Amino acid sequence: MNLALFDLDNTLLAGDSDFEWAQFLISRGVVDREIQEAKNIEFYEHYKAGTLDIHAFLAFQLQPLTRHPRHELDAWHREYMAKHIRPIMSAPARERVKRHLDTGDLCAVVSATNSFVTGPIAREFGVPHLICTIPAVDVKNGAFSGAPTGTPSFQGGKIVRVEQWLESLGLWWGSFANTWFYSDSHNDLPLMQQVKTPIAVDPDEKLRTHASQMGWEIISLR
């Protein structure tokens, strides 16, 4: 048995699902464009530099979910999928996922973006497992609290979350003949260094340099 892990934003997607969700909310007048875009730029610069405070980012990212009932958010997400996400789900990305699924590999999307945004996207790709940041929810009405639960799935936290998931299945890294992780970002180097076959996908400059030095495969899914 083999294990294939996929980052989502700018890896399987030719764009960032969280950014696109923010743009969707801006287009609906749900959040203020000037404030949202300024904060997005600020957080993205820290992300690129590897200095992102994930807890501060999540407090900002999850806040809009708290102000609307779940049925309204779910309806918006269906529209968001049609207008913002399916257009950036490339044929090569779909084919790469299908290749692993067809050979019987255990497949999971591993993303820092929250499960409300990413869950339907992972299902659209046909990936049966999702490891991501989990927003706290009131189980009685589905309302979001605005806080994450557990370890955020970011940088070294991705290893923690993947290992917890594997343990829940009665598995560990040594259970697999081969392990892959596909990512575009140097922030994912901890998990890329954990697997046997790291693959840099349309990588940022830092990851491209590191991948070249290490002899890792570099591909494009655009």
For residue range 134-174, what is the model confidence (pLDDT) as tens digits?
999 988 888 898 888 999 999 999 999 999 999 999 999 99
Tokens of 79: 């529209």
Distance CA 38, CA 98 (A): 37
Domains and CATH numbers, the chain: 3-219 (3.40.50.1000)
**pLDDT beyond 90 at 9:** yes
Q: Coil, strand, or helix at residue 66?
A: helix
Distance CA 215, CA 154 (A): 24
**CA pseudo-torsion sign 136, 83, 54, 39:** negative
pLDDT for the residue 190: 98
**pLDDT beyond 90 at 12:** yes
**pLDDT beyond 90 at 192:** yes
Mean pLDDT computed over every residue of the chain: 95
Q: Among 31-35, 102-106, 109-113, 187-191, which is the least confidently predicted range?
A: 31-35
Does this model's pTM top 0.85? My answer is yes
Identify whether 9 is a catalytic site residue: yes
106-145 exposure pattern, b = at least 16 Cβ within 10 A, e = fewer: bbbbbbbbbbbbbebbbeebebeebbbbbbebeeeeebbe
Identify whether 102 is a catalytic site residue: no
- β partners of residue 131: 110
The residue from 7, 16, 105, 188 that is catalytic is 7
